[in-house]
Amino acid sequence: MTQWKERLRVFLFPPETDVWLGLLRIGLGLQVLFYALSLRADWNYLFAGPGEGLIGRALPEALLSTESPLIPRLDWLVMLTTRIGFSESTALSIVWWVLLFAGCCLLIGFFSRASAILAWFVHLCAAESGGFISYGVDNFMTIGLFYLMLSPLPDRYSLDHRWRKLRSKNPHLLGFFRRVLQVHLCLIYFFGGVAKCLGSGWWDGSNLWRALIRPPFNLIAPEILIRLKYMFPVAGIAICLLEISYPVFIWNRKTRGIWLMCICAMHAAIGLTMGMYLFAFIMIVLNTAAFGPDLGLAPSEKLVRATLS
């Protein structure tokens, strides 16, 4: 029992450098910026109050209240801002600027922890109030930002480290939160892979064809895609196997590089061929932060790790 406990402790709390945390912070900073900028023109239209915008946020927020009144939502921020005297439209614009600001601060690592909390909270409010218009990218951004704000910031690449001389003190805590991200990614791909394996369309390739010709993902003309029809079954099966075997091969040092490269290539392909750029980017960021730093360690990095061990 004691040996088992010790093994668990060694697995969950390995001494770790903050390289992965730097990658995660910079990646999520960029992601928050891209997210905010991509929705700039439609922000007020998508998240408007009752009687305005596309569908407004009233219904999703009402449904959210039936689940729990404590789940963050845009209405809280809008109410806070309108009480000062701003209009609803201005309040929404302010929220957008706050998100952009939080993204910029995250990117450069200025007040890293506060920026991570701010970005997580504002994005979460938008994702929850969006309700019917939220999709996978919002989930993964929430996951990433949630882990980032809990992790022992700042990292060595941040302004906090260089200018304010703040240090991330606990290498075991760094190791723990990296493990959390790693295990979570393994579960994401494993269950995603299992669910895909249960559908006939991934074995005969028809799901890939459908995904690529279905609006609004139909960036490539079907006349071009049809020439690749013999590749669809192979690619469909490859995706299933890649995802379901991710938790096995990503831990093995010999296969980690190839699996990480394949999974990032898969996400890049999804982004480029289906227009899901934000989704692709967040997945690449999470994967790179979780499993990337161990690949091709620089001699200085090896030294730091050896010292920490």
Partner 1 sequence: MLRQQRVLLAWFVLHFVLIITISCRDIVWLVAHKLTILPAPFRAAAQKVEPIAANVLGDKLSTSNPFRRALLTYLHIAGIDRGYGYFAPNVPAGYKIVFELHYPDGRVEYELPAVNSGAAGLRVATLLDEIGRTRYDPLREYIIKTLAASIWRKHPGVKTVRAVFGLLNLPTPAEFEHGKRESYDFLYAYDFSRAEEPAKTENH
How many beta carbons lie within 10 A of that of residue 95, not counting itself? 22
For partner 1, give the closer residue by CB, 226 or 241: 226
For partner 1, give the closer residue by CB, 56 or 257: 56
How many beta carbons lie within 10 A of that of residue 293, not counting itself? 20
What backbone phi and psi angles, to 5 degrees, belong to 111? 50, 60
Q: How far is the CB of 95 from partner 1 (least distance, A)?
A: 16
Q: How far is the CB of 94 from partner 1 (least distance, A)?
A: 20
Give the span between the Cα atoms of 252 and 220, in whole angstroms. 36
User: What residues contact residue 17 under an 8 Å CB cut-off, 6+ apart?
Assistant: 156, 171, 174, 293, 301, 304, 305, 308
For partner 1, give the closer residue by CB, 13 or 110: 13
For partner 1, give the closer residue by CB, 2 or 300: 2
Q: How far is the CB of 25 from partner 1 (least distance, A)?
A: 17
CB-based burial label for 300 (10 Å; 0-12, 13-18, 19+): exposed
- Half-sphere exposure at residue 300, Cβ-oriented, CA atoms within 13 angstroms: 1
Give the span between the Cα atoms of 53 and 292, in whole angstroms. 41
Q: How far is the CB of 81 from partner 1 (least distance, A)?
A: 21
Q: How far is the CB of 298 from partner 1 (least distance, A)?
A: 29
For partner 1, give the closer residue by CB, 164 or 172: 172
